[in-house]
Amino acid sequence: MSTEPDQTPTYVAKGQEFDRDMTYVPDRITRDARTPEHGPVEGRLWPVEPGRYRLVAAAACPWANRTLIVRKLLGLEDVLSVGMPGPTHDQRSWTFDLDHDGVDPVLGIHFLRDAYEKRFPGYPRGITVPAIVEVETGELVTNDFPWITHDLFFEWTEHHRPGAPDLWPAELREEMETVMKRVFTEVNNGVYRCGFAGSQEAYDAAYERLWTALDWLEERLATRRYLMGDAITEADVRLFTTLARFDAVYHGHFKCNRQKLVELPHLWGYARDLFQTPGFGETIDFEQIKQHYYVVHTDVNPSGIVPLGPDPSGWETPHGREALSA
């Protein structure tokens, strides 16, 4: 079974283990369309240019949520516009249901698929968010989500706000890569591995892997304010978007229910700390998150009923983690 962020499947394949398809349009946006120092170069290189592109990122999607947070942290709102599809979609495409007449006011489309098809007629893969679209042509540029946030930091430097955080500290990058790899495989993707398991055996194994990683994170965050120490990095952005959805969706809907986030003192304090940091909490819409998972995943939740809880007010309570920043 395979799928892509975030064109999530509408079936659970019986007897199979969840396997995420990580094939994306590999184009990169770089300063002067130069060859970047970091990462693969398999597709076309596009130049950084304010106003040229539009980021399409649904608030409901954790992978797209990363881009919304990084865009805000770096102060790129005036140079990279954002279009936000609604929380629900069918097999065809994400749609701009939240906009007037269901049409994105800049791209002039209802279906995000139109931007994919404009560049790749008959595009055969899932229509995913986040996606970056060239405004003038209406064509998809890239949907390669790990590299979108990476390049917003490394390639859009000229347009960062004064005092923007260093999300990739040079002295920490090697360790960061190890931490982020484990966060992705075991937590970001681990909750999906539980939710879309096609057999009891696959679920049991996924559940054990997830909680082994969450226990590791709980221990790690007992002595440091953020994943890499005293400052927020890209690693924190990547973990936060899963934690923000944990009690509202993953605990019940995906059966990740050994404990709730609010029962894990260090992870819960850490998540609240980030939520209350400018750039994080304002990108979270718990109602859209719940509507997406509980309505779109008809195999997991055939009734389509969206739960009313949990109460989100706890996210604003004091976290007390300032003491960990010496």
Single-letter residue type at 255: K
123-164 per-position pLDDT tens digit: 999 999 999 999 999 999 999 999 999 999 999 999 999 999
Q: Which residue has 């696959």 as its token pair?
A: 202
Is the Cβ–Cβ distance between 324 and 290 less than 8 Å?
no
Q: Report the interhelical angle of 234-245 vs 145-154 (nearest 10°).
A: 140
Cα dihedral sign, 180-183-186-192: negative
pLDDT at 5: 45
Nearest to 28, CA basis, from 156, 137, 144: 144
Within-domain flag for 144: no
Within-domain flag for 77: no
Within-domain flag for 27: no
Residues that are catalytic:
61, 192
54-107 per-position pLDDT tens digit: 999 999 999 999 999 999 999 999 999 999 999 998 888 999 999 999 999 999
110-124 per-position pLDDT tens digit: 999 999 999 999 999
Within-domain flag for 161: no
Within-domain flag for 196: yes
Taking the C-alpha atoms of residue 48 and residue 64, their distance in angstroms, rounded to an integer, is 20
pLDDT, mean over the chain: 94
pLDDT at 90: 82
Is the Cβ–Cβ distance between 29 and 12 less than 8 Å?
no
Any known ligand binding at 156?
no
Q: In DSSP terms, which residues pair with 134 in a beta bridge?
A: 53
Using only C-alpha atoms, what is the Rg of the chain? Answer: 19
The domain of 221 spans: 170-282
pLDDT bin (cut points 50, 70, 90) of residue 278 is: very high
- When divided into structural domains, the chain yields a total of 1
In sequence order, what DSSP letters do the residues of 227-267 get, joined into one string?
A: TTBSS--HHHHHHHHHHHHIIIIITTTT---SS-GGGSHHH
What CATH number should be reported for the domain holding residue 186? 1.20.1050.10
pLDDT at 316: 98
Phi, psi (5° rounding) for residue 81? -75, 165
pLDDT at 322: 95
Is the Cβ–Cβ distance between 220 and 204 less than 8 Å?
no
